[in-house]
Amino acid sequence: MTSTTTLTRGYVVVWIWLLVLMTLSLFANTLPVSRPAIVTLMFVVAAVKAGLVALHFMHLRLEAWLIYALATVPVLLVFGLMLALFPDFVLPR
């Protein structure tokens, strides 16, 4: 019974963190900082949320190193896409 309680508590803690990060990204536009800083913050929050979901809800933290090696290529592609699209979000037209 203890392991089930600990497992459920871990899920709840991750869920609360996801709620906090979602709230942060919703109200990021009201922060008194520049637009590039807001966009960067939102990208970082999205990456952290994706990591939390992948590690905890998809149980990737329990997998072998090969899964991490296979996941490296898509992650690098996502970061490349974010870098390529960053000027479209930040620079005024």
The ranges assigned to domains in the chain are 2-90
Most confident of 22-26, 52-56, 65-69, 79-83: 22-26
pTM of the model: 0.68
H-helix segments, 27-64:
35-52
Please compute the mean of the pLDDT values over residues 72-93 and round it to a whole number: 82
pLDDT digit string, tens, across residues 24-55? 999 999 999 998 889 889 989 998 998 899 88
Q: Provide the percentage of residues in the chain whose pLDDT is more than 70.
A: 92
Residue 67: is its pLDDT beyond 60? yes
**From CA 7, how far away is CA 62, in angstroms rounded?**
13
- Burial class from Cβ neighbours inside 10 Å (0-12, 13-18, 19+) for residue 2 reads exposed
Residue 4: is its pLDDT beyond 70? no
pLDDT (0 to 100) of residue 85: 85
